[in-house]
Amino acid sequence: MNIAMLLEMAAEGDPERVVLGPRAGGTTATELLDRSRRAALYIQKSGARTVGYFGLNSDALPVALFGAALAGVPFSPVNYRAPDEQLQGILARIEGGLMIADEDEVARLGACGASHVVTKGEFLAAVDELASDAAASGGAEFPFVDPEEIGVLLFTSGTTSEPKAAVLRHRHLVSYIISSVEFLGCGPDEAQLICVPPYHIAGIAAVLSSLYAGRRIMYLPAFDAAEWVRLAVDEHITHAMVVPTMLGRILDAAEAAGVTLSTLRHLSYGGGRMPTELVERTLRDMPHVDLVNAYGLTETSSTIAMLTPDEHREAFASDDPAVRGRLASVGRPLPSLEVEVRGEDDAVLGVGEKGEIWVRGEQVAGEYVGNSVLTEDGWFRTRDAGWFDAEGFLYVDGRLDDVIVRGSENLSPGEIEDVLMAHPAVAEAAVIGIPDAEWGEAVAAVVVLHPGAAADEDELQTWVRQRLRSTKMPAVIEFRPELPYSPTGKLLRRVLRDELSAGGPAQRRD
């Protein structure tokens, strides 16, 4: 039971189905399995103890992923945007690894300490040169891969600290797929456009779930909204997953190109807080598209809760604020999991009470290299703040580490950001804590206004004070043309904190 078994099943179930690449001339399930088996032989011969992947999305990714699984070594896609210093640290931790890289990254990898680097082109050429005995033998010479072995090693984004190496064992990934995806549940016309980077858990999960569902994978090497729209139209894309920063740009690009994305049926989003306004715009502009809000973490093998298409439509059509408000929720936990919100003494909290989100289930790994952080009875503390409503919908308020401690009061940035973004002039808002001589921390906001819109600090402060307690009113509001995001759509609060704190303690105005 390793992740390559999912590919073997796909090849068994519909051998000739095109599973990777363009509609015309793409790779069939049988061809992908054959290539992956040869990749496994290549990896075995290389003596690699880990297979790293360093570069943009490409058809080499699934081959390397399944090749590594068949050979019984971990696969580790590394963030190619990591600065040299961070990259050196990561490479030191995957010592003995074979790095499969974009050609223009080879020199940098070498300089940062990688000893064994091949380009994607060299890797695929070497794989294709191997005799196809491996394919003919049905993979009998590959080792038995225990489900306990490491399938994927992901360095988490580290928006607040150094990256940690999250361990996903084969059993976690396989459990996630077989419990949440219907085997070959898709028609042969379905196609998924993958635009999240390969080092993101959603990039890995998308390969596994698309393949198991029988949905053709089409890669967009690096995100570009106009290119996304072009591919979606040309390749009859039916499914995609996007992070918050991508969605608005896609809608704008579709509008600019004058296309309706008529083949698109299903769009899931996650990886960060999606402005409700943008969800509403998508529901309005593309009523033919099913929306799914997915909440998950690297440590949980991707999705643990989702707001379904029907729940989106029901909320959008409702005048009841509690139902309408669900557009900001991440929906209900997957049936195969348990999710609880717990307080500071670890006791389970009731409806509407805010605390930390805990999760338990077979897909939950909760482990970093050398260190499992699961409780004795298998619970993983997500470090995300959240709460359940009376109907069991989960709301995520952001990272606990981002909570602002002002005096003795804990303030959640998400709540203040939502109120700011509800102001008609505000497009984006980030709320952070900055050092304050009197209160320890003060609330600061960085705001991006809609093009052509106007609002000043006083107006927005009054707006917040009228809707929340006065202690939640930002002491300072800075206006900027844009907010800093990671490529996977995560707001880089640490960057804002550093920048706003650099000038010394904030000037309070209360």
Partner 1 sequence: MGIQLKAGLRLRSATDACEVVVVKAPAEPVDLRCGGHAFLPTDAEAAPQNIEAGFDGGTQLGKRYADDDLGLELLCTKPGEGAISVGETVLPVKGAKPLPASD
7 binds partner 1 (CB under 8 A): no
Among 43, 99, 241, 337, binds partner 1 (CB under 8 A): 241
210 binds partner 1 (CB under 8 A): yes
The pattern of x and - marking residues 91 through 130 that bind partner 1 according to CB under 8 A reads ----------------------------------------
User: Residues 132, 138, 139, CA angle at the centre, nearest 5°?
Assistant: 85
Question: Which class for 16: exposed (0-12), middle (13-18), buried (19 or more C-beta within 10 A)?
Answer: exposed
Q: Which is nearer to partner 1, 7 or 101 (CB)?
A: 7
180 binds partner 1 (CB under 8 A): yes
Contact window for partner 1 (CB under 8 A) among 9-17, 48-56, 83-91, 280-288: 9-17
Count of residues interacting with partner 1 (CB under 8 A): 51
H or E element, residue 19: strand 18-20
Q: How far apart are CA 279 and CA 285, in angstroms?
A: 10
Q: How far is CA 33 from CA 131, 271, 284, 351, 479, in A?
A: 14, 30, 41, 48, 52
Q: How far apart are CA 120 and CA 19, in angstroms?
A: 20
- Positions in 140-159 near partner 1 (CB under 8 A): 144-148
DSSP code for 93: H
Question: Which class for 291: exposed (0-12), middle (13-18), buried (19 or more C-beta within 10 A)?
Answer: buried
257 binds partner 1 (CB under 8 A): no
> At its nearest, how many Å lie between partner 1 and the CB of residue 499?
34
Q: How far is CA 227 from CA 75, 234, 285, 428, in A?
A: 29, 10, 19, 24
28 binds partner 1 (CB under 8 A): no
Among 26, 52, 270, 398, binds partner 1 (CB under 8 A): 270
Q: How far is CA 243 from CA 267, 305, 390, in A?
A: 10, 16, 28
Tokens representing 10 are 């796909």
Contact window for partner 1 (CB under 8 A) among 113-121, 180-188, 438-446, 466-474: 180-188
Q: How far apart are CA 153 and CA 93, in angstroms?
A: 11
Q: How far is CA 52 from CA 65, 87, 506, in A?
A: 9, 12, 44
> At its nearest, how many Å lie between partner 1 and the CB of residue 215?
8
Amino acid sitting at position 160: T
Q: Which is nearer to partner 1, 268 or 461 (CB)?
A: 268
> At its nearest, how many Å lie between partner 1 and the CB of residue 428?
24
205 binds partner 1 (CB under 8 A): yes
Among 51, 101, 251, 334, binds partner 1 (CB under 8 A): 334
294 binds partner 1 (CB under 8 A): yes
Q: Which residues bind partner 1 (CB under 8 A)?
A: 1-2, 5, 8-9, 12-13, 144-148, 170-171, 174-175, 178-185, 192, 202, 205-206, 208-210, 212-213, 215, 239, 241, 266, 268, 270, 290, 292, 294, 296, 302-303, 306, 308-309, 334-336
